[in-house]
Amino acid sequence: MRPQETIIYYLLYGFAFIAMGLAAWLHQKDEQISNLSLANALPDLAAFGVIHGMTEWMTMLLFTGLYSDLVPVAVVIRSFLKVLSFVFFLRFGMRVLWHQKSIGSFWFWVPWLLFAGWITGLWVLQLRFWGISGSADLSLLNTLVMRYGMALPAGIITFAAFHRDARLLKKKHRHKQALYTRLLSVAFLFYGLLDGLVVREAAFFPASFINHALFLQVTGMPVQLIKAGLGVLILWGLTHLLKAFREEAAFKIHQMVQERAAVEERRRIGMTLHDGIIQKLYASGLKVSYVLKQQSAPALVQPLTDVQDRINESMEIVRELLNQDHSELMEPEALMVQIRRLVEEYRQMTRLNIHLASRIPPLQLGKFSPEQSTHLYYILQEALCNIVKHADASQVQITLEATLATLVIQIRDNGQGFQPTAGTGEGKGLALMRQRAREAGGSLEVKSTTAGTLVSLQIPWEE
């Protein structure tokens, strides 16, 4: 490639990724999508895009030859920033795959351990990049750690995460979101393969075979141009995916308003039926009963008794209509109202400091059946009751987090913990909680130590 073409390619490459990073940063501040697992990972994608784009612009400046006296230092700084960008790329893929808003697992420290390994390798080289052999050593270190150890796994992990979410979205008939999600999965996979495998030529496999020169020879295009195009594709797909989620959020909020209005109207009609028809039927029944007691003519006794029976039957029918549950599925927001009331009741009845954190966005794709909602509510109630009676706790943290497939509820206290009594196993309350979880199609896990107890409940959304 001619130097002028190389400069243009790196200019476009850097611009595409910086634009992608800035867009990701702006989207993650959107309140309508702030609780999506994807939105929680967007800060990492933003950091990756901006930092990675800056490194490509630094490469572009090195090709211009304007700062030849600063090349050795600039090479190290560029390598440092590029490794840092791949740390955030790998974190992004992990967060989307495991739906984690906060990183606590050992595996989420792997990117930083790889980063520390690169720093250690650079120190071992003793900054020998000033000579030709040192520059080759730095290139080898970058290829092993950055490309094979970070960029390639990050692309594969991110592909797996978006591919899984695309299947779930399609299963829930969210075809537009599924299309954009699948597009993003393919774009991230190709980017990971190109940035992780197509490297500078080196004297070891696979760099000796799969490298920039071979890619240019086979495709006739520099790999930087393809990666720039993938950056633009990721930017476009991400923007349209989040736009589709926002549109659905607006529709669901409107739908919830209409449903609440319908519930209020049914409640008003129910009160009218109760206060009007039932009371009048009851009054009519009393009058018929009074007439029967007044020694009516024998010929009228049977007809009046039949009338009284019909009145009682009519009252029962109206009561059944009033008591009938017309709702087929319950939105998570409707359930949240009951949970907030329950938490507030326990705050007032006890000295517990209960903190409730909900990460269920308005656009959540799942619904619950009334049976699932009932089980979930009473599991939470039983958990709070057990904390009050047995835990001797002062703090309770309740977290509700939604994924595309499930609702996850965690109840954590700082009490004294417990151990199942020898020979008796679990208490009745805990056994009932597990039974309710199974009947709701979910699972319940309890971990208890002397520092407190954690109850984790997972309930799948209704199909």
d(CA 156, CA 196): 10
Taking 70 as the threshold, does the pLDDT of residue 291 lie above it?
A: yes
Three-state SS at 292: helix
Taking 80 as the threshold, does the pLDDT of residue 370 lie above it?
A: no
Instruction: Tell me the pLDDT band of 263, cut-offs 50, 70 and 90.
Output: low
> How much is the pLDDT for 131?
43
Average pLDDT over residues 397-411: 86
| Annotated domain spans of the chain | 3-255, 259-323, 332-460
Comparing 101-105, 239-243, 432-436, which segment has the lowest mean pLDDT? 101-105
Whether the Cβ atoms of residue 37 and residue 361 lie closer than 8 Å to each other = no
Average pLDDT over residues 143-150: 84
> How much is the pLDDT for 102?
46
Is the CA virtual torsion 9, 11, 12, 17 positive or negative? positive
- Measured between its terminal Cα atoms, the distance across the chain in Å is 55
d(CA 165, CA 172): 11
Average pLDDT over residues 167-189: 89
State the Rg of the chain over Cα.
32
Comparing 1-15, 125-139, 219-233, 254-268, which segment has the lowest mean pLDDT? 125-139
Q: Which residue did the predictor score with more confidence, 12 or 4?
A: 12
Portion of the chain with pLDDT greater than 90, in percent:
24
Whether the Cβ atoms of residue 444 and residue 386 lie closer than 8 Å to each other = no
> How much is the pLDDT for 299?
72
**What are 402's two structure tokens?**
């939604």
Whether the Cβ atoms of residue 284 and residue 329 lie closer than 8 Å to each other = no
Mean pLDDT of the chain: 80
> How much is the pLDDT for 385?
86
> How much is the pLDDT for 130?
42
Whether the Cβ atoms of residue 95 and residue 44 lie closer than 8 Å to each other = yes
Whether the Cβ atoms of residue 233 and residue 183 lie closer than 8 Å to each other = yes
* Fold (CATH) for 332-460: Heat Shock Protein 90 (3.30.565)
Instruction: Tell me the pLDDT band of 252, cut-offs 50, 70 and 90.
Output: low
Comparing 32-41, 152-161, 348-357, 428-437, which segment has the lowest mean pLDDT? 32-41
Taking 80 as the threshold, does the pLDDT of residue 136 lie above it?
A: no
> How much is the pLDDT for 132?
39
Whether the Cβ atoms of residue 455 and residue 383 lie closer than 8 Å to each other = yes
Whether the Cβ atoms of residue 249 and residue 362 lie closer than 8 Å to each other = yes
Q: Which residue did the predictor score with more confidence, 141 or 242?
A: 242
Average pLDDT over residues 289-311: 75
User: Could you identify the residue written with the tokens 């049914």?
Assistant: 266
**What are 5's two structure tokens?**
């073409």
DSSP letters, 116-185, are HHHHHHHHHTTTGGGSHHHHHHHHHHHIIIIIIIIIHHHHHHHHHHHHHHHHHHHHTT-HHHHHHHHHHH
Residue 245's closest CA among 179, 336, 151, 153?
A: 179
- The CATH architecture one would assign to domain 3-255 is Up-down Bundle (1.20)
- What is the arrangement of strands in the sheet containing 452-460, beginning at the earlier edge strand? 353-359, 395-402, 406-413, 452-460, 443-449
> How much is the pLDDT for 153?
93
> How much is the pLDDT for 350?
80
Same fold, 3-255 and 332-460: no
Note the pTM of the prediction, 2 decimals. 0.64
Taking 50 as the threshold, does the pLDDT of residue 171 lie above it?
A: yes
